[in-house]
């Protein structure tokens, strides 16, 4: 019997063991995901239950409780007030976040890649990022008035910096050896950007986008408070002035769910675009 024929059963047995091990790891990960979903669901139910019990003991002027908020949500939805406000806010949020994402990624790539660009702009980025948004609103009103443009500018201003800073950090953390290999094979600067830098910095960029979504929602609400009194921010102001706490909490909870949903969506997008990062995390 040849050596190849002797080793063949051993190789098949080893392959079967590896396949069995991979199946076992996959099953374990699936069980962990189910367990984590149950833990999350249980924590939500516990918080809602405690809120319901405690909220009923407090004066409705100061605090409401989930069942009252749910009734207020049904009333606002059937009247059309909540869908209209949500549509107005989503338009500003979607357009502002899209502009911020494009500008932030492009600027972050340039700042992270070229030292001269970083030296010329880092002071401005740090100064604007540290500036409280409320302090800029009066100037924004002078520039753009009280309409849609002012809301859009505030959203872009708040959302752009997390995307920019994280993208620049991702570019700086690309292994120099990878860039040296590309240069050694006579790759152009465009090829180095698209084939090496972009894939390597993608997890950082996605993290910046997730942080940027939260900042964009904050910017949207701040703009609706101080500029055009429309959207979900207008509902908060309206029912806050009427001391209707249950109705006031409806848009607040919608904003929370919006932030959670968009962040989860971006996380899923990252798992599709950069699956190797998800495998490392698991």
pLDDT of residue 277: 58
Residues present in the chain in total: 282
**Percent of the chain's residues with pLDDT above 90:** 9
pLDDT at site 225: 80
**Lowest mean pLDDT, pick from 107-111, 190-194, 261-265:** 190-194
Instruction: Provide the pLDDT confidence category of residue 19 given band limits of 50, 70 and 90.
Output: low
pLDDT digits (tens, 9 = 90+) for 225-240: 877 677 888 888 888 8
Three-class secondary structure of residue 2 per DSSP: coil
Distances, alpha carbon 195 to alpha carbons 102, 104, 192, 270, 278, in Å: 19, 20, 5, 18, 20
- Assess contact for 161 and 125: CB atoms under 8 A: yes
Question: What torsion, rounded to 10 degrees, do the Cα atoms 181, 185, 190, 192 define?
Answer: -10
Q: How far apart are CA 177 and CA 183, in angstroms?
A: 10
For 183, residues 6+ apart whose C-beta sits below 8 A from its C-beta are: 192
pTM of the model: 0.77
Task: Looking at the chain, list the stretches that DSSP marks H as alpha helix, in order from N- to C-terminal side.
Answer: 3-55, 66-78, 81-113, 115-130, 133-144, 148-172, 176-184, 189-192, 198-226, 231-241, 245-273, 275-281
The CB density around residue 213, as the number of other CB atoms within 10 Å, is 25
């Amino acid at each position: 019997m040849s050596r190849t024929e002797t080793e063949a059963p051993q190789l098949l047995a080893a392959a079967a063991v590896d396949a069995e091990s991979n199946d076992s790891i996959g099953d374990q990960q699936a069980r962990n995901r189910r367990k984590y979903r149950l833990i999350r669901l249980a924590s939500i139910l516990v918080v809602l239950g405690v809120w319901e019990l405690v909220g009923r003991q407090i004066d409705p002027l100061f605090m409401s409780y989930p069942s009252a908020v749910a009734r207020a949500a049904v009333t606002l939805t059937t009247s059309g007030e909540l869908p209209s406000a949500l549509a107005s806010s989503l338009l500003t949020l979607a357009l502002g976040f899209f502009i911020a994402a494009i500008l932030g990624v492009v600027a972050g790539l340039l700042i992270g890649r070229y030292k001269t660009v970083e030296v010329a702009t880092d002071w401005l980025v740090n100064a604007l990022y540290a500036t409280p948004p409320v302090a800029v609103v009066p100037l924004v009103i002078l520039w753009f008035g009280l309409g849609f443009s002012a809301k859009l500018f505030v959203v872009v201003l708040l959302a752009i910096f997390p995307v920019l800073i994280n993208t620049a950090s991702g570019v700086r953390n690309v292994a120099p050896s990878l860039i040296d290999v590309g240069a050694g094979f006579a790759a152009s600067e465009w090829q180095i950007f698209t084939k090496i830098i972009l894939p390597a910095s993608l997890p950082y960029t996605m993290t910046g986008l997730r942080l940027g979504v939260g900042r964009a929602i904050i910017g949207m609400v701040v703009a609706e408070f101080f500029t055009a009194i429309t959207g979900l921010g207008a509902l908060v102001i309206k029912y806050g002035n009427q001391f209707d706490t249950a109705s006031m909490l409806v848009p607040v909870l919608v904003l929370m769910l919006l932030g959670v949903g968009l962040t989860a969506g971006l996380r899923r997008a990252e798992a599709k675009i950069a699956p190797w990062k998800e495998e490392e995390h698991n």
